[in-house]
A and B are shown apart, each in its own frame.
Chain A
Amino acid sequence: MDFVRNFPLFSILLPMVSGPISSVMSGKKAKWLNYAVVAVSGLLSVATLVYVLNTGSTYNYSMGAFPAPFGNEIRVGVLEALTATFFCFVMLLSLIGGYRFTKVDIPEEKQNLYYIMMNLLLSSLLALIYTNDMFTGYVFIEINTIAACGLIMIRGWGRNLLAATKYMIMSLLGSGLVLISLSILYGITGHLLMEPMHEAIVEIMENKTYTEPLTVAVGLFCVGIAIKSALFPFHSWVPDAYGYSTCASSAILSSLVSKGYIFLLIKFFYRVIGTDIIHQIQVDDVLFVFGIAGMVFGSISAIQQTDVSRMIAFSSVAQIGYIYMGFGLNTEAGMIASVFHILAHATGKSLLFISLNSLSDGTWEYANYRKLRGAAYYHKFAGLGFAVGSLSMVGIPLLAGFTSKVYFAKAAFGVDSNPKMLIALVALAISTILNAMYFIGQTINIYTPLSVEHEPGSVKHSASARVAVVLFILINLVLGMGSDPVIRWIRTGLVHFGAIIKIR
């Protein structure tokens, strides 16, 4: 067995180990350890990706000595490796970008705690990506939740505590639903590992033995994930959680954490249930409707905000709606579009949060619309970053968001049912307009020159933020202009993802 095959496990274990180690280190050292760990995980993931692309297949990797279906497994394929790589690098850049704010927002003695949480978060995200076992998935969902909560809470203000509490409650609710769902599934299938579970489910559907419990289980699982990934109408916790956290947290939460859960959902659909059955029980239509609703209402709520960080947070709700709409189309093209959008959105959203924080100098009172006028002239990189991020969200050609839109639209055209197609297309168009309204509006706002001098004292520039902004812009442009290889990998990955299942 190639040594490379161990890399995914290493990338999960490494942060898990470095977490506790960080607890005894000072803030600065913890930070460097964290960066190193993320970077290494990223490199490991790259290696894995290269390996899987070369071999052209996926492999199951047993954890421990017990083989399936009794032991635990992780599964590694192109899609997983790609996503893992991407997540690592986005996390790294977000951390770098938010560094200055991390220093300012978090008290000195708690710095290392922050990095512990980061490590745990990375570990659980990667685990969610690679896992082939539902219960393991659940475990890491919980770890993820706790870590995320910690990330929000660390800032220590009243609003943050409130936000964290809200988040905790909603998230645990979601986890609870997932747990119930898993229990039911275990009850009817007798397995927790994905492939055996699937076989059992196929049998159930053919014999029509436990179809209602199955439907309920699927429904509960979806709702649970929906709550955790902020699908409309379960998104109420988002604005506070994303809006009031420290920069790096907001970026990572909005770009990665929710996507981890979505990834698990994809796995669930493809490997456990099977897309045919999903269509049979019509979960896809439900998700489609909520996705569209999220696209529209998320943006409408965003327009109404005066606090720009909340505005960006609501934008996340809208973007997640896109992803669920892609699911709802229940075609390969739709799934490709959704996965690509996960990547594209990550680059755009993190970029926006970092830029916004730079523009508003990190203190929340300056994130107000009016206070931001003309800010781009004092923080040129941040202004540029905000502009690029906004245009990517709107879907201007050359940027990642445009490519997402193209693939969503193509997927829409491929759907059999005409009403669904038309609704999807029109929703796409309307959503673009809505996005334009608040994003371009804000961009104009920050570039509107003011005759009043900005208070010079509070203008601080952070080199790390600038670096992060530039790199994010580059990634965005790469995804926008050179997305072909990525799409190919996603497609291959999806094929292998559900290799045992017929893809529609």
Chain B
Amino acid sequence: MSAYWLLVPLLLPIVGGAVLGIVKPHSRKVMEITVMTVTLLTSLCVAVLLWVRPSEEAFILQLAERLTVKFFLDGSSCVFAGLIALLWPIASMYAIEYMSSEEHQNTFFAYYTITYGVTLGIAFSANLMTMYMFYEMLTLVTIPLMMHGLKYKAVVATRKYVRYSIGGAAFAFIGFIAIAIYGETLDFRLGGVLTGASGNRTMLEIVYVMAVMGFGVKAAIFPFHGWLPTASVAPTPVTALLHAVAIVKAGAFAIIRITYYSFGVDFLHGTWAQYTVMGFAIFTMVYGATKAVKEQHCKRRLAYSTISNLSYILLAATLMTPAGMSAAFAHMLAHGVMKITLFYCIGAVNVKAHKYYVWEMDGMGKRMKLIFGVYSVAGLSLIGIPPMIGFVSKWDIGNAAVAEASPFAYAGLVALILAALLAAAYILEIVVRAWMPREAEKTTDTVSTGETSAQETSVQEFLPVGWRMRLPLVLMAIAIVVGGIFSVPILRFLADVAMGIR
């Protein structure tokens, strides 16, 4: 199968989204059908491509000496593309219902769909130039999504996002150029391209740290995580998909690429550069979790949780061993699914019951059983309770850390446990409040007189949660549990990817 088929799932959503944005159909149904068709078709194409892996790369164009745009589907591409392709249709379905009361929907969904294509571009990149290009494009193409609503808060959040993102890319750019100069090639090769590199070792290490922190902006590493909590003002479909899955995972993916495929672990392992980035990852794990515990706004709490979890991925990646890499991918997959589920549950509560804060969740379990049921499952998975996927990825990370056996790795292990415990605190608070809220007096009548909001809203009607929101949630919950139980084949695949076999 020719590798140029890779262009199909790449261009289809971009073109489809553009058409949608230009034509702007008046009928909502038409828009809905267009979006779902395009998205599902693209995912189907990706599935086919993952099955029939083309063995060559697709050369597109040459920008300058050494700077070419190429696509190739290697193991890592499969993992990331698979995740995106799996989640996008589900996310779109949910978004369609969620956004039903908003304006400018055509523009929104146009850019939403285009973003799919751009993210796949990052996944399919065969070299650093292509990935960098699509990375910048991702920032640009998500700006309208973040700005949606055009309220002052959205504009401020977008500005912050742009500054951070472009800033990060600017520093990542330095790493990119360094590889262009000192590497044998800009292509991604497992093991790195700096073998036999002349030139300043120290300087390259400094550049590596800069590049990681630069790409790490999208991966919300401390201290460049500030844009993410602010960005939670965006509508939930945006926050969930982009900030829990696409954008942030693109950042983590980029870091994995430059660590394992560009600079190479032989070059980096055991250097101060490795320890520096590990240190930041470890700190962020605990920092994000701590801020999440303190945060009372539900979505921002999940944003901080994302910050913490992304650093799980970065910790695993910066262990710089094959076990670390496969663990990083494992958590990338697991967290993507879990976090999107959690955001969607909270989103449903936000938009149908108009409740946004943790204390408003008291007793909601009774009234929105499915939502909170799924939330509980996903939440338990996030904490790392077996047999769900969150446990599997946590296991992988812990194992990789123990196998690495260096002091930083052990520190990472400690951080992992601490962060998990904090996760228990910030997740279970909502779960317990929803299902078993505090009641003030032990009275014989059954009406509780505790926190007021649960009672006041018994008067107020909640909007019904339609099947388009329920179905994704149920599917995800099933995936979380089933994926955890039957995880071994996936783990074996990831281990193979890390060894370069697949």
**Nearest neighbor of A405 in chain B, beta-carbon distance:** B173
Q: Shortest 10 CB-CB distances between A and B: which pairs?
A: A397-B133, A436-B166, A429-B170, A432-B170, A409-B177, A433-B167, A483-B64, A425-B174, A429-B171, A413-B181
Q: Are B67 and A444 in contact (CB under 8 A)?
A: no
Q: Give B290 Cβ to nearest chain A Cβ, in Å.
A: 29
User: Which residues does chain B contribute within 8 Å of A25, judged by CB atoms?
Assistant: none
In the docked arrangement, what's the CA distance between A278 and B465, Å? 73
User: Which residues does chain A contribute within 8 Å of B143, judged by CB atoms?
Assistant: 440, 444
Tell me if A480 is interfacial: C-beta within 8 Å of chain B: yes
Q: Are B63 and A397 in contact (CB under 8 A)?
A: yes
In the docked arrangement, what's the CA distance between A487 and B66, Å? 13
Q: Give B411 Cβ to nearest chain A Cβ, in Å.
A: 29
Q: List 20 A-B contacts (CB under 8 A).
A: A394-B166, A395-B170, A396-B137, A397-B133, A397-B137, A403-B64, A410-B177, A410-B181, A414-B181, A422-B203, A429-B170, A429-B174, A432-B167, A432-B169, A433-B163, A436-B162, A440-B140, A440-B143, A444-B162, A481-B61
Known: A397-B132, A397-B133, A481-B63. A436 touches B163 (CB 8 A): yes
Q: Are A484 and B65 in contact (CB under 8 A)?
A: yes
Q: Give B162 Cβ to nearest chain A Cβ, in Å.
A: 5
**Nearest neighbor of A433 in chain B, beta-carbon distance:** B167
User: Which residues does chain A contribute within 8 Å of B61, judged by CB atoms?
Assistant: 481
Q: Are A397 and B136 in contact (CB under 8 A)?
A: yes
Tell me if A43 is interfacial: C-beta within 8 Å of chain B: no
Chain B 158-190 interface 0/1 with A at a Cβ cutoff of 8 Å (1 = within): 110011001101110110011011100000000
Q: Are A429 and B167 in contact (CB under 8 A)?
A: yes
Q: Are A448 and B181 in contact (CB under 8 A)?
A: no
User: Which residues does chain A contribute within 8 Å of B137, judged by CB atoms?
Assistant: 396-397
Q: Give A461 Cβ to nearest chain B Cβ, in Å.
A: 19
Q: Give B106 Cβ to nearest chain A Cβ, in Å.
A: 12
Chain B 39-72 interface 0/1 with A at a Cβ cutoff of 8 Å (1 = within): 0000000000000000000000111110100000
Further pairs besides A409-B174, A409-B177, A440-B140: 6, Cβ < 8 Å: A398-B63, A406-B64, A433-B170, A437-B159, A447-B144, A482-B62
Give the contacting residue for A449; candidates B104, B180, B182; CB below 8 A.
Answer: B104
Q: Which residues of A contact B (CB under 8 A)?
A: 391, 394-398, 402-403, 405-406, 409-410, 413-414, 418, 421-422, 425, 428-430, 432-433, 436-437, 440-441, 444, 447-449, 480-484, 487
User: Which residues does chain B contribute within 8 Å of A432, judged by CB atoms?
Assistant: 166-167, 169-170, 173
Q: Are A413 and B63 in contact (CB under 8 A)?
A: no
User: Which residues does chain B contribute within 8 Å of A428, judged by CB atoms?
Assistant: 170, 173-174
For the complex, count residues of B whose C-beta is within 8 A of A: 39
CB contacts under 8 Å to A, within B102-141, are 104, 129, 132-133, 136-137, 140
User: Which residues does chain A contribute within 8 Å of B180, judged by CB atoms?
Assistant: 406, 410
Q: Are B170 and A441 in contact (CB under 8 A)?
A: no
In the docked arrangement, what's the CA distance between A481 and B64, Å? 7
In the docked arrangement, what's the CA distance between A474 and B124, Å? 27
CB contacts under 8 Å to A, within B190-221, are 199-200, 203, 206-207, 214
Q: Are A487 and B173 in contact (CB under 8 A)?
A: no
User: Which residues does chain A contribute within 8 Å of B65, judged by CB atoms?
Assistant: 484, 487
Known: A429-B173, A433-B167, A433-B170. A483 touches B150 (CB 8 A): no
In the docked arrangement, what's the CA distance between A333 and B228, Å? 39
Q: Are A487 and B64 in contact (CB under 8 A)?
A: yes
Q: Are A483 and B63 in contact (CB under 8 A)?
A: yes
User: Which residues does chain B contribute within 8 Å of A410, judged by CB atoms?
Assistant: 177, 180-181
User: Which residues does chain B contribute within 8 Å of A395, judged by CB atoms?
Assistant: 170, 173
User: Which residues does chain B contribute within 8 Å of A397, judged by CB atoms?
Assistant: 63, 129, 132-133, 136-137
User: Which residues does chain A contribute within 8 Å of B170, judged by CB atoms?
Assistant: 395, 428-430, 432-433
